[in-house]
Amino acid sequence: MRLLVLVLLLLSACTPALPIVTDSDRVWARQSFPETQDDLDESRTLYARKCGACHRVVLPANVPQTEWPHVVDKMAQRARLQDVDRARILRYVLTASRPGQPVVP
């Protein structure tokens, strides 16, 4: 059990830091997705938890915005995400990958 915990801690240290949602991100998201007002911080956590459970999470800015819907749809099937979680993850990655957002190495 201790070995498993140690391995998980080491793997989590290799995970890139996901962008934190800023106030300007929230404004952009409200304009882009007026039908929803979910918390982007929670969506960020959902992305890290659901997607990071199987593989290293991808920094949103490292994938073109036009590709994210396809990527999320494909991975949602594999991860057996409910539609609401798929939509929340997509809103987060689209917000975090919008033009002008810094790319974190």
Residues 22 and 56: their CA atoms lie apart, in Å, by 23
Residue 74 clears pLDDT 90, i.e. is over it: yes
Instruction: Please check whether residue 57 is in contact with residue 19, taking contact to mean a CB–CB distance below 8 angstroms.
Output: no
Per cent of the chain over pLDDT 70 is 78
pLDDT digits (tens, 9 = 90+) for 10-61: 444 455 688 888 888 888 888 888 877 678 889 999 999 999 988 899 999 8
Residue 84 clears pLDDT 80, i.e. is over it: yes
Write down the mean pLDDT value for the chain: 80
Residues 34 and 27: their CA atoms lie apart, in Å, by 10
Q: Which residue has the higher pLDDT, 61 or 103?
A: 61
Instruction: Please check whether residue 52 is in contact with residue 8, taking contact to mean a CB–CB distance below 8 angstroms.
Output: no
**Position 8 confidence tier, pLDDT thresholds 50, 70, 90:** very low
Angle at 16 between CA 10 and CA 19, to 5 degrees: 140
Quote the pLDDT of residue 69. 95
Amino acid residing at 41: D
